[in-house]
């Protein structure tokens, strides 16, 4: 009888302990939540104080913190009201947008690569050289592009672009291509394209100063129209 009473008391004590433990857990969660600056609601009057608190908390990376600040600045410029949202909500929104953009960029890259492979049997496009010059008292960048018809049909029109990247794959310049001249099978045609030079533009200065071997050229075809009117894209 005493043993049963002892077991009953032990069970009661264990239940009380579980309740106390659960209460402590809930208290700690609520305490941490209240002290997490990311859970603060955005308010223009406390924005600078909140950002500094978020930075000191080390709960987000410097990159995320920079994105948060940029997002809030753009929201102000475009008149988007984000009051009533927590900083955590805003960061989640930013990451969602970034993910969607990354997914879209990946799809675009896959589509460009697929188109490049489809059109490769018909045409090769390469950048032969780049120079800096003055034309009509204006400074320009001059690009000489080689087109080689690798197919069996005469080509009438070509559209696409050349992206010119540095060795870190950062785009320096994009050259839009429109060729409206005949290219016979096996023929190579050279064509010059000019882009206005702006010394205040960092990419223009890099494009002028970069050696050719420091650049990575990528041909992104759009359409090829043949003499018989057929279209490859």
Domain boundaries, the chain: 2-95, 122-232
pLDDT at 57: 87
What secondary structure letter does DSSP report for 185? T
Say how many C-beta atoms besides its own lie within 10 A of residue 145's C-beta: 22
CA neighbor of 157 nearest in space, from 126, 190, 179, 187: 179
153 by DSSP, 3-state: which? Answer: coil
The fold of 122-232 is Immunoglobulin-like (2.60.40)
State phi, psi for 70 to the nearest 5 degrees. -65, -45
pTM: predicted TM-score of the whole model, two decimal places: 0.58
Q: How far apart (Å, rounded) are the C-alpha atoms in residues 163 and 67?
A: 27
State phi, psi for 198 to the nearest 5 degrees. -125, 110
Cα dihedral sign for 179, 183, 185, 188? negative
Per-residue pLDDT of the chain (233 residues; tens, 9 = 90+): 444 545 665 556 555 555 555 544 444 444 444 578 888 999 888 888 988 888 888 888 888 888 888 888 888 877 788 888 888 888 888 888 787 777 777 888 888 889 999 999 999 999 999 999 998 889 999 999 999 999 999 999 999 999 998 877 788 999 999 999 999 999 999 999 999 999 999 999 989 988 877 888 999 999 999 999 899 98
Q: How far apart (Å, rounded) are the C-alpha atoms in residues 131 and 135?
A: 12
């Amino acid at each position: 009888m005493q043993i049963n009473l002892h077991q009953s008391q032990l069970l009661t004590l264990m239940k009380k302990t579980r309740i106390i433990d659960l209460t402590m857990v809930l208290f700690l969660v609520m305490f941490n939540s209240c002290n997490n600056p990311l859970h603060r609601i955005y308010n223009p009057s406390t924005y600078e104080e909140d950002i500094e608190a978020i930075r000191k908390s080390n709960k987000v990376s410097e990159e995320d913190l920079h994105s948060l600040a940029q997002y809030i600045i753009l929201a102000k410029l475009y008149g988007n009201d984000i009051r009533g949202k927590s900083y955590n909500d805003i960061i989640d929104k930013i990451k969602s947008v970034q993910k969607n953009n990354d997914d879209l960029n990946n799809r675009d890259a896959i589509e460009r690569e697929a188109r490049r492979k489809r059109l490769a049997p018909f045409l090769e496009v390469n950048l032969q050289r780049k120079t800096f010059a003055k034309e009509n008292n204006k400074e320009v960048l001059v690009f000489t592009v080689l087109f080689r018809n690798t197919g069996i049909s005469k080509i009438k029109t070509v559209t696409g672009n050349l992206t010119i990247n540095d060795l870190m794959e950062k785009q320096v310049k994009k050259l839009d291509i429109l060729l409206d001249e005949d290219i016979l099978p096996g023929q190579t045609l050279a064509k010059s394209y000019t882009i206005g030079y702006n010394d205040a533009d960092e990419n223009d200065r890099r494009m002028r100063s970069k050696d050719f071997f420091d650049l990575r050229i990528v041909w992104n075809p759009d359409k090829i129209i043949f003499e018989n009117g057929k279209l490859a894209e």
